[in-house]
Structure 1
């Protein structure tokens, strides 16, 4: 991932904007950062006695400023104190969305609590170090091609509280507080909950939480990468599948032995997540499936072999991205890093768009399909 690879070498706010924020606006949201009709850098709007203050970026859609972006240096934690200019500008522009970011974490704000006044808490928090896939469809609504402000605002209230609840739950699962330990202990222990009992159950609650999360992750990986008959190797962390799309032929090896030769790497999973993020503006992320084989990692629409989106040829010294034309003929494109997949985002989106078009009735198929912008991790 580009952020993980380069963030330690970024030492200034300006470098953060150039390395991470501008590519986010361009690659993920789909706006031309060099076109002032779409993105205005150093946007100025005089606020009361404040003159000449600038906001880092104003994103324009249909001739109106719709999104304000304030950037801070990467590795600096985001605090509401960093958003003072966003608060002031929010009240004097048409923007309904404000974004505070350090290049890795993006906090999205609106005015749910009071009209034309930016909320103190974000309704959506996107962290590229730990992407929540459920947020990608909402992010897609802010892209140039799929901009739908009304839908974003209507969903913001629910997103705001669900996001906060999930973060609280994550914190409790990681390091449970006394009240959380007491609450869960009272459901399984019938005696008085003394301090000694709390001390005893604290590690048990933490251990149970970790095991529960591991089981949930295991189930999701099995469903995404191989179905209910696959399993996760505890020693390697890889997903092993008993049946593969196109297993390599191994002389003298049976099906079980062939399956054991398949090792899904973290790099392949990262490539899969990138492809899914790119095309999720075209289809829901749940429709993007993955199948690993001994020779390549396949990405499919609707888990259908006849609808290949991409193949990741990473099990070799030279990496290749396999893409498909209208006749489903594969072309292998050399790439240096996993992030290079983003250079072929249009091709991947067009591939999915073709499958969607052919699946519609003839009358609907005649309608042009607009290219959608990436709405996920980059």
Structure 2
């Protein structure tokens, strides 16, 4: 709980002062050093957190990485920092790649103070992977992130367990991607396996095409039902009297607009995501003829998102930055989870203003 509380304080710094954290030094002082302190390291002890860590690499002399976190004279983690305004990419990790092979470390962190990307050498020993095995965002903290970060604290740091966890997290990501591909576009092998379990019909081209559509629809329905069950349970526990608010529908020539089940599902998902930053009661739904809006504080000047679900052939989830709306095509409300960073960023923008 202590780690969670300290990270929550840093998240508030990001929310309140992000616009002034534009330089690398500002990100280091206001976010990265307190982050290391939250993990139990003393950033002011030069034998524990070494700033401007230098190590000659081949013909390159005197190159520096921003921090080396050490214990008993051995480097445990390397940390490379960028300004908070920078969108991190693997191109920013050149020093980490070079230093990784010349130190004892098996963990490297690339950060802009807000986003922390953790790397190891899962693919090839003593060579830093191209992809992080874990990414943490101060402006979108999840419960499972806290549990993962606890492994990196000074008191619990165990490199063997960390590397094992890194391998598991990376494999979980790969499994997730494969399942996502199967659920969106089922392969012939997957279709045949499911079809053979529920039907004795010969798998012709027409049968295969029909089962592909059935699998996609069934998976979407299964996920939607599970999400709705969990959201209904959570909302009922936190607010037993007031349930999901009814949409404030505008009248049409045909009568009152009916808020569909999918719109309610989409609203529940946005509300659950937004509950990480604000009281979920502040997030409300307001239906209209051409779209269904999700608002903060029931204020039509504080639109969090819009759901364009009325068309029978195309659906869009609208995210906002300022007054600009970006429409993202989706097949099912569950896909809104793919845009949670945009939702949380928008809520921060509206709540801060």
Using structure 2 for the length normalisation, give the TM-score: 0.54
Task: Give the counterpart of 1:4 among 5, 15, 21.
Answer: 15
| CA distance in 2 between partners of 1:140 and 1:153 (Å) | 14
Kindly tell me: are residues 105 and 167 of structure 1, through their superposed partners in 2, closer, same or farther at Cα, counting changes over 3 Å? farther
Flag the structure with more relative contact order, 1 or 2, with Cα contacts below 8 A and sequence separation at least 6: 1
Using structure 1 for the length normalisation, give the TM-score: 0.51
| CA distance in 1 between partners of 2:41 and 2:104 (Å) | 18
Deviations 1:248-294 (A, max 9, x none): xxxxxxxxxxxxxxxxx99996699xxxxxxxxxxxxxxxxxxxxxx
Helix, strand or coil at the partner of 2:108: strand
Q: Work out whether 1:108 is the aligned partner of 2:118.
A: yes
Task: Give the counterpart of 2:93 among 83, 87, 90.
Answer: 83
Query: Match of 2:42?
Result: 32
Q: For the aligned residues, what is the CA RMSD? A: 4.2
Residue 91 of structure 1 contacts residue 117 of structure 1 at CA under 8 Å; is this kept in 2? Answer: yes
Task: Give the counterpart of 1:216 among 202, 206, 230.
Answer: 230
Residue 48 of structure 2 contacts residue 71 of structure 2 at CA under 8 Å; is this kept in 1? Answer: yes
Query: Match of 1:121?
Result: 131
- Offset of residue 100 of structure 1: 1.1
Helix, strand or coil at the partner of 2:65: strand
Query: Match of 2:245?
Result: 235
Structure 2: stretches of 5+ with no match in the other structure: 1-10, 247-271, 280-353
Deviations 1:75-134 (A, max 9, x none): 433222221111100000111111112222211111122221112222222223333323
| CA distance in 2 between partners of 1:207 and 1:140 (Å) | 35
Residue 218 of structure 1 contacts residue 232 of structure 1 at CA under 8 Å; is this kept in 2? Answer: no
Task: Give the counterpart of 1:20 among 23, 27, 31.
Answer: 31
Query: How many pairs are equivalent?
Result: 236
| CA distance in 1 between partners of 2:82 and 2:178 (Å) | 25
| CA distance in 2 between partners of 1:104 and 1:167 (Å) | 25
Residue 140 of structure 2 contacts residue 276 of structure 2 at CA under 8 Å; is this kept in 1? Answer: no
| CA distance in 2 between partners of 1:267 and 1:210 (Å) | 18
Helix, strand or coil at the partner of 1:125: strand
- Offset of residue 208 of structure 1: 6.8
| CA distance in 1 between partners of 2:20 and 2:217 (Å) | 38
| CA distance in 2 between partners of 1:59 and 1:117 (Å) | 19
Q: Work out whether 1:139 is the aligned partner of 2:149.
A: yes
Structure 1: stretches of 5+ with no match in the other structure: 237-264, 273-378
| CA distance in 1 between partners of 2:40 and 2:74 (Å) | 16
Q: Work out whether 1:65 is the aligned partner of 2:75.
A: yes
Kindly tell me: are residues 128 and 162 of structure 1, through their superposed partners in 2, closer, same or farther at Cα, counting changes over 3 Å? farther
| CA distance in 2 between partners of 1:100 and 1:168 (Å) | 27
